[in-house]
Amino acid sequence: MHESLRSKHNDRILPGLGALERESELLEGADPREVIEWAVETYGEGLALSASFGGGEGMALLDMISKVTDKVTVLTIDTGFIFKETAEFREEVMRRYKLPVEVLKPELTIEEQVERYGEQMRTCTPNLCCQIRKIEPLQKALNRYDAWMTGIRREQTPQRAGTKVIAWEERYQAAKIAPMPDWTEAQVWDYVRAHDVPVNPLLHQGYKSIGCEPQTRPVHHDEDPRAGRWAGIDKTECGIHVEGGKISRAGA
Ligand code: SF4
């Protein structure tokens, strides 16, 4: 097990896999702001935040980070299928928060994707489309970062139940930091209200979890917040947060 790692873009010596495991145990149950402070101090400008501008978690995290530093880069993926409201909201938010932002785009346009893989790729045939439009752009961006933060929480999906505060991700060759893994949905919204954090306007229109337009629908008040994502399809994740989860192109 590596005890230390060298940063991808400067001479900083970073904690290795064993040290990350120990730190993760120490930070278990800590306030998310404590985890953020540790991450900013440890990784400096080698740290990024991945945000979709769709849920309250990412926005709460963005707000917390902006109170600690103005150096963390916000990575956000524009799949070409996102809601117009999400794109407009992203622009508005980034005028308010002074963090650098990188909008990641897939290598293929939707038209090129359809031409290469078939007409079904226009209407969100999952897995291959998520691989091309979400996972690969993030993977490419993370080649330049040592660590990335995400607002995922354990109660969101069964795949997220084992989320660690800090974990080494082999496929991204970067540490993944989840500052609020044990927060409940109520805690997220308490933070949003208390700190006047802006949220995607679609969240006030019956949506509770927002991804790409073709497979996101509003949910009833008694439904699971993520029930509106990929409804009717055996899929709850795009693959970004699935452990060891490279979705194979051959499987499309
Ligand atoms: S959520 Fe649907 S449209 Fe968006 S990248 Fe994945 S498969 Fe494509």
Q: What tens-digit pLDDT sequence spans the chain (252 residues)?
A: 566 899 997 889 999 999 999 999 999 999 999 999 999 999 999 999 999 999 999 999 999 999 999 999 999 999 999 999 999 999 999 999 989 999 999 999 999 999 999 988 887 777 899 999 999 999 999 999 999 999 999 998 888 999 999 999 998 999 999 999 999 999 999 999 999 999 999 999 888 878 888 877 777 777 776 666 666 666 666 666 765 444 333 332
Within a 10 A sphere around the Cβ of 36, how many other Cβ atoms? 24
Q: Is 50 helix (H, G, I), strand (E, B) or coil?
A: strand
Mutate to test the pocket of ligand 1, among 215, 229, 234, 240 (most ligand atoms within 8 A of CB): 215
- From CA 159, how far away is CA 183, in angstroms rounded? 16
Q: Whose CA is closest to atom 2 on ligand 1?
A: 124
Q: Which residues are catalytic?
A: 238
Minimal-distance CA residue to ligand 1 atom 7: 126
Spatial separation of the C-alpha atoms in residues 195 and 47, rounded to whole Å: 24
Whose alpha carbon is nearest atom 3 of ligand 1? 124
Tell me the pairing of strands 174-177 and 147-149.
Answer: parallel
- 251 Cα: distance to centroid of ligand 1 (angstroms): 15
- Going by CA atoms, what residue is nearest to atom 4 of ligand 1? 212
124 lines ligand 1 (CB under 6 A): yes
- CB of 210 closer than 6 A to ligand 1? no
**Does ligand 1 come within 6 angstroms of the Cβ of 211?**
yes
Question: How close is the Cα of 128 to the center of ligand 1, in Å?
Answer: 9
Among 238, 240, 241, 247, name the best residue to mutate to test ligand 1's pocket (greatest count of ligand atoms within 8 A of Cβ).
238
- Does residue 229's CB lie within 6 angstroms of at least one atom of ligand 1? no
Per the structure block, which two tokens stand in for 15?
Answer: 């904690």
Question: Measured between alpha carbons, how far is 124 from 80 in angstroms, rounded to an integer?
Answer: 11
Structure tokens at 205: 């229109």
Which tokens go with 243? 């452990």
**130, exposed or middle or buried, with CB in 10 Å at 0-12, 13-18, 19+?**
buried
How far apart, in whole angstroms, are the C-alpha atoms of residue 218 and residue 89?
Answer: 18
What is the C-alpha separation between 102 and 107, in angstroms, rounded? 15
**Chain CA centroid to CA 199, Å:** 15
Residue with tokens 């929480």: 153
Q: Which residue type occupies 213?
A: E
pLDDT of residue 250: 30
Read off the amino acid at residue 185: E
Domains and CATH numbers, the chain: 4-242 (3.40.50.620)
